[in-house]
Amino acid sequence: MMKTTQDGRQQIDSQDLSPLAKLFQLGRDQSYVTYADILRYFPMPETDLEQLDLIFSALLCAGIPYGEDADHLCCPFSDPKDTDEWY
């Protein structure tokens, strides 16, 4: 369901979002996500390790850092040339 903000913009109601979309929104709002944030939206990651792998991959692709806390983040590469060192 769409709702209108005070400045007149249309916004999707957060109740209609998937857990992954909510995690991404949180990551954009605070500029990173913690492992605790991931567990809040995906409370039993050990039941689907492939899904967990996709979550971390999606966060990296979206440029959203993640880690234990704000001081210990896995920062995605800002320059695609940096990925050459992975191989």
Answer yes or no: is pLDDT of 55 > 90: yes
Q: In the sheet where 66-69 sits, what is the strand order? A: 33-34, 66-69, 72-74
CB 51, CB 42: distance < 8 Å: yes
**Which one has a higher pLDDT value, 53 or 4?**
53
Decide: 66 and 32 in contact? Cβ < 8 Å: yes
Confidence (pLDDT) at 2:
57
* Ranges 35-49, 52-66, 72-86: which has the least confidence: 72-86
Strands (E), the chain: 2-4, 10-12, 33-34, 66-69, 72-74
Map out the domains of the chain as residue ranges: 17-79
